[in-house]
Structure 1
Amino acid sequence: MTRARGDDGFRRRLAERIPLHGPISIVLVIAVAGFVRVLAEHWREGTGLLGGALLVAGLARVLLPEDRAGLLAVRSQLMDVLCYGGFGVLMVVLAVTIQRAPFLVS
């Protein structure tokens, strides 16, 4: 059977160069950095990093074949990309709309 998509060669070469747990490790490092920024009371940067981690997960899910996506492959590829991308964009938009002023208690 001939595949209609011509990017399988690129995806396979990319997958051969990336360690098996590389994609999830990169996503987790970005997410942990985001949580550290949130805990340090830098809400905008932390939320932006968390959204960025989701966008990186979605990009990795698009670029890597099913057998190399590892723990990023939870559902079908389409659903994973839609969920990672949608929530990532939502988090980045949330980060942009967070006010810079500290929370004041009256």
Structure 2
Amino acid sequence: MNERQQAGWGPYPLIALGTVLGLASILLGASPSVGMPVAGGFLLLGALIRVILPERRAGWFAIRGKTTDALTLTTFGALLVFGGLILLVEREWIVGILGFIRIVG
């Protein structure tokens, strides 16, 4: 048995469950502005756990190097949280900001 098999699943089920909960809430009728940040929050939690846990306890959660895993999870998690929260912003504000950037830029 290799080291990864001995460590078991590690925190992987927690992260998978949280992500599935966020996506399932959207499929069951909740607003994407709720479900996306839930899924993203669990991915951010996964990034934090990946940084904290030693390599031998990460289990199947350790795919690549610790830095690569943490950066990947942080990027996707932050994008999901941002994407969900941006849905709460009124469209006129976004159009106004983009128009201001075009005028100034």
Q: Same fold (TM over 0.5)?
A: yes
Note if contact 2:37-2:81 (Cα within 8 Å) is conserved in structure 1: yes
Query: Which 5+ residue runs of structure 2 have no aligned equivalent?
Result: 1-6, 91-105
Match for residue 39 of structure 1? Answer: 27
Matched, 1:27 2:4: no
* TM alignment of 1:1-106, pairs within 5 A: 20-42=8-30, 43-99=32-88
Offset at residue 100 of structure 1 (A): 8.2
Amino acid aligned to 1:37: S
TM-score normalized with structure 2 length: 0.70
Note if contact 2:10-2:60 (Cα within 8 Å) is conserved in structure 1: no
Amino acid aligned to 2:15: V
- Extract structure 1 runs of 4+ deviating beyond 4 A: none
Higher RCO by CA contacts (8 Å cutoff, separation 6 or greater):
2
Q: Percent identity among equivalent residues?
A: 33
Amino acid aligned to 1:92: V
Query: Which 5+ residue runs of structure 1 have no aligned equivalent?
Result: 1-18, 102-106
TM-score normalized with structure 1 length: 0.69
Question: In the comparison of the two structures, how many residue pairs are matched?
Answer: 83
CA distance in 1, matches of 2:80, 2:71: 14
Offset at residue 41 of structure 1 (A): 2.6
CA distance in 2, matches of 1:100, 1:37: 21
What is the alpha-carbon root mean square deviation over aligned residues? 2.0
